[in-house]
Structure 1
Amino acid sequence: MKALLLLVALWAALFGDSILKIATYNVENLFDLEKKGYKYKEYEPNTNSNWNQRTYKIKLQNIAKVIKEIDADIIALQEVHSLQALKDLRFTLKQNGLYYQYYSIADKKHTATKVAFLSKLPFTYSKELSVTSTYKYRNILESKFKINGNDLYIFINHWKAKSGPESMRIVSAKTLRKRVSEIGYDKNIVLLGDFNSHYEEFLIFKRNRKHNDTNGKTGINHVLRTLKQIHRAKDVKYEKENFYNLWYDTDASKRYSYIFKGKKEALDNILISQPLLDKKGISYIDDSITNLDKNYLFKKKNIYRWQVSKARVSKHKGKGYSDHLPVMAKFRVK
């Protein structure tokens, strides 16, 4: 009997399925303490704004606490200022018992904040997609992983904020769509990050003239083609060249990562290509999409963002986390 149990355990270890957790988190302005590089005024180090070694360390520890709770295999990050800030976060995580051996950041364009990732798994390559040459658009980070012989492409996004019209987000979406078409729609592809777009952006922005300068067309819904698959993952039908937004695979009340003026929004999204729904190779695990809505991430009815005073000279209070909640999903690797 013992021999049989040992054989079963060995078989599972060698040939059993494994679980891959992928997450995305806008960490809200993780600036380093270096004097070089463009920074927002309140993040200039060692000034009256109180952005110094003490507050920086608190920010790192707080963000590390959240990431450790997620414990993803691959976590996409937005609003990281520099490679130094990414390394400092990685070191803080290691001090807290979570080690990410692999990492990358889109730092070729000197925007104030950038996208990055931390990973427990090695990647084949990581490179940047230039949306435009101007600083109005952040580069997209493209990375390829090979997991148990399966290729997986991950694209980390941080599209233009709602301070700009939808036409600006469409520019980023078209860059993404063009690159995906080059790779092929039959590949395992994950698009994730802060799209500054609700999963049904085409509905909520129609009456907002400031945003709707595209005659009702949106980057996330029309360019990335998420309009047809609006059911639970187990019920969706194959739609060639479409992406499936995982928010549809959980209850509507749970579909949010941001709160603006008391209204919940899903600005952070995880979209997957059709092969990740076919239960072969790498595949999405039904009903696994979720935000991290722990009590400590809220202050009253709002997300407990990093606290900066609104005085004439903004000052960091050394409290809070981020204005976004992390979003995560699980995948089965055969």
Structure 2
Amino acid sequence: MRHLFLALLFCATLFGEKILKIATYNVENLFDLQKSGHEYSEYIPNGSSLWNQKNYKIKLKNIAQVIKEIDADIIALQEVESLQALLDLRFTLKQHGLYYQYYSIADKKDTTIKVALLSKIPFVYSKEVSVTQTLEYRNILENKFVVNGKELYVFVNHWKSKSGAESRRIISAKALKKRVSEIGFEKNIILLGDFNSDYEEYIKFKRKRKHNDTDGITGINHILGTINQRDRASKAEYAKDSFYNLWYDADKESRYTYIYRGKKEVLDNILISQPLLDQKGISYIHGTISNFDKEYLFKKKSINRWEVSRAKVPKHKGKGYSDHLSVTAKFRVN
């Protein structure tokens, strides 16, 4: 077995092939201990809710445990408060044996939580895509990479939650599609993150009147062109200016990243442009899309999220991870 592994490794190196693992993870409210004035009340540093050095270190350690096991080359993150929180997570990961030399965060706007990225691979640039000028909408993070001489664009998203209607998520979808059209749909592009949208949102949200304020139009399906996709990635065909949602390449029972009142849901997605399906240059490896569903990430038939008591004054209990599962996929770079 060892000789076979070495032979495969030699062949991959000889022909310049690289396997690239991409992931996205909503880490659920990773706040630092510096008071900015924009924190949620239970995350005011060293206050009555016990968001203190002890609980912060536990949160960092737990999230780092998950990220280390995933061991992605590039991981998109959501719900990171600040650059300091990102750097503290990066340092904790390094202490646990996983080093991400490169990092970026969408922090031009002083939103309460932000999107970020950790990478083992250098990026050519990192910039922010403005959704609106208000603090209500988080910016999208855009990173350009060159891997084995091939360009790759990665967009990290965190759209508005389902406490609001679909029209709010369409605003983010339109800003994202506008930027992608400027780059060109023929490029290698990955859109990932917490879209607060199911891969078939256009079907599921019709039953929810508070969401459907758009006459059935959705951001993830209609604006980004992922509607009526049924086939596995190996058979997928679609318009040039559309994206393919990798969840269609997974078994149905594993298509979830969130559990709400006992019901499994998809909020987090990885979408790819058409060139990433053509098996040339950079290409998605069929069958590799997966949620990261280790046993320790579940508790009482739900996700083992970071625990905060529901008392009049909420208090951090110092245990748990995130309310989301991570999503991973692999790509071949020739």
If the length of structure 2 is used for normalisation, what is the TM-score? 0.96
* Deviation, structure 1 residue 240: 1.5
Question: Aligned equivalents of 1:98 and 1:238: distance in 2?
Answer: 38
CA distance in 2, matches of 1:9, 1:68: 22
Cα deviation code 1:114-165 (max 9, x no counterpart): 0000000000000001100111110000110000000000000000000110
Tell me how far 1:208 sits from its aligned partner.
Answer: 1.1
Matched, 1:70 2:73: no
Residue 314 in structure 1 maps to residue 314 in structure 2: yes
Using the TM superposition, give the Cα deviation of residue 69 of structure 1 relative to its aligned residue in structure 2, in angstroms. Answer: 0.5
1:180 matched residue in structure 2 = 180
CA displacement at 1:236 relative to structure 2: 1.0
Write the distance in 2 (CA, Å) between the matches of 1:9 and 1:252: 33
Name the stretch that deviates more: 221-230 or 55-64. 221-230
1:233 deviates by: 0.4
Instruction: Return the TM-score normalized by structure 1.
Output: 0.96
Partner Cα distance (1:10, 1:290) in 2: 27
Name the SS of the counterpart of 1:22 in structure 2: strand
Aligned AA for 1:314? Answer: P
Alignment partner of 1:145 is 2:149? no
Q: Is the 8 A contact 1:58 1:319 kept in 2?
A: yes
Amino acid at match of 1:124: V
Matched residue, 2:20? 20
Can you list the C-alpha shifts for 1:194-239, whole angstroms capped at 9, x where unaligned?
0000000001110211100000000000000001432100111242
How far off is 1:8 after superposition? 9.2
What is residue 3 of structure 2 aligned with on the other side?
none
2:166 maps to 166
Q: Do residues 271 (structure 1) and 271 (structure 2) align? A: yes
| 1:256 aligns to 2:256 (yes or no) | yes
Q: Secondary structure at the match of 1:293?
A: coil
Structure 2 unmatched runs, 5+: 1-5
Mapping of residues 55-66 of structure 1, within 5 Å: 55-66=55-66
Q: Write the distance in 2 (CA, Å) between the matches of 1:257 and 1:132.
A: 27
CA RMSD of aligned residues (A): 1.3
Give the SS at the match of 2:123: coil
Q: Give identity over the alignment, percent.
A: 71
Q: Secondary structure at the match of 1:67?
A: helix
Deviations 1:31-84, CA, capped at 9 Å, x for gaps: 000012510000001111000000000000000000001000000000000000
Q: Which residue of structure 2 aligns with residue 3 of structure 1?
A: none
Aligned to 2:204: 204
Three-state SS of the structure 2 residue aligned to 1:146 is strand
Whole-angstrom distance in 2 between the partners of 1:20 and 1:135: 34
- Residue type of the partner of 2:277? L
Alignment CA distance shift 1:309-1:8 (3 Å): closer
Q: Which residue of 1 aligns with 2:221?
A: 221
Which residue is equivalent to 1:103?
103
- The corresponding residue for 2:87 is 87
Q: Which moved more, 1:177-186 or 1:225-234?
A: 225-234
Does residue 329 of structure 1 match 2:301? no
SS of corresponding position for 1:26: strand
Does the Cα contact within 8 Å between 2:12 and 2:18 map onto a contact in 1? Answer: no
Alpha-carbon deviation of 1:15?
2.2
How big is the shift at 1:7?
10
Paired residues, number: 329
SS at match of 1:205: helix
AA partner of residue 136 (structure 2):
K
- CA change 1:301–1:42 in 2 (3 A) is same
Summarize the Cα distance change of 1:11–1:197 in structure 2 as closer, same or farther, 3 Å threshold: closer
Give the letter for the 2:169 counterpart.
R
| Pairwise CA distance, 1:17 | 1.4
Residue 181 of structure 2 aligns to a residue in which SS?
helix
Distance between the aligned counterparts of 2:244 and 2:267, measured in 1?
15
Aligned equivalents of 2:89, 2:166: Cα separation in 1: 32
Deviation at 1:9, TM superposition (A): 6.9
> Is the Cα–Cα contact under 8 Å of residues 116 and 156 in structure 1 kept in the other structure?
yes
Q: Which moved more, 1:229-238 or 1:139-148?
A: 229-238
- Residue 260 to residue 12, structure 1, CA distance change in 2 (3 Å): closer
The worse-fitting range, judged by mean Cα deviation, of 203-212 and 58-67 is: 203-212
| Equivalent residue letter for 1:159 | W
Please, which runs of 5 or more residues in structure 1 have no aligned partner? 1-5
> CA offsets per residue over residues 249-304 of structure 1, 9 Å max, x none?
01111000001111111100000000000000000000000001111000010000
2: distance between equivalents of 1:326 and 1:214? 29
Native 8 Å contact 1:37 1:110 kept in 2? no
In the alignment, the residues of structure 2 paired with residue 207 and residue 7 of structure 1 have an alpha-carbon distance, to the nearest angstrom, of 54
1:246 aligns to what? 246
Q: Which amino acid aligns with 1:94?
A: K
